[in-house]
A = this chain, B = another copy of it.
């Protein structure tokens, strides 16, 4: 009986693969009973890196913007442990930008490490704040902030 999980396992990526890298400090309570970042924390770092980039670049106004991003899918492969008190660097790369949906890859690097400790991906669908229906087109400021995350060809 083959293990269906093995086929798709990606390789750890490297820092140079990411157009943007953002530092995030870890917290004491991120460490679980085994002394390493609990697997849940990684998703909190993904969220933080992506939204932090979009807010700083003017692409997302969480309080007053007309569109909001709903998360429809997330995933993560874990390669190495991360631990408090390390600083983690989150690398961001745009994988796909459609009319209303966006796919972003996020890699986490512990301290100075060149090799990713974890590799995540998530899919946002942008909806109208009131109707909660997918927008016909992304606002321009958001599209531009996302396009900064395109990897050089």
Contacts and interface: CB of A to CB of B under 8 A. Distances in A.
Given A25-B25, A73-B75, A103 B4 contact: yes
A39 B33 contact: no
Size range of the chain A interface in the assembly: 35 or more
Interface of A is mostly: mixed
Contacts of A45: 27
A122 to B, nearest CB: 8
B48 A25 contact: yes
A27 B78 CA distance: 21
A27 B49 CA distance: 8
Across the A-B interface, give the 5 residue pairs with the lowest CB-CB distance, nearest first: A75-B75, A39-B71, A40-B43, A27-B48, A28-B47
